[in-house]
Amino acid sequence: MTGSTSDWPLWEVFVRPKRGVSHVHSGTVHAPDAELALQNARDLFTRRSEGVSIWVVKSSDVTASDPDERDAFFDPAGDKSFRHPTDFELPDEVANM
């Protein structure tokens, strides 16, 4: 690819801060390919060794729901409370869930 870095694709960055927890969206980077996106993400979002894993996904490959249509989109799940572990107590040994 030629041109300025602003012409490069935008990548969404997800960092897992430690083992046993989920990746969390940390921000975005511009890069011409996935390998450079990983390196840019590492340099930008884990400067103090606060990550154990990084995922990068091309922003154009992400499909998302519309926040303005939240009620209609999530309403069907409202009557399925059995999917949520609200009636269960977590053992003390379970640190991250």
> Residue 6 has what pLDDT?
72
Domain membership flag for residue 40: yes
Rounded percentage of the chain residues whose pLDDT exceeds 90? 51
Q: What is the DSSP letter of 63?
A: -
Q: How many domains does the chain have?
A: 1
> Residue 94 has what pLDDT?
78
CATH number at residue 38: 3.10.20.520
Average pLDDT over residues 22-48: 94
- Whole-structure pTM value: 0.69
| pLDDT tens-place string over residues 51-92 | 899 999 999 999 999 999 888 877 765 566 666 666 667 788
**Range(s) of the domain holding residue 55:** 5-77
Average pLDDT over residues 8-12: 97
Domain membership flag for residue 86: no
d(CA 11, CA 41): 9
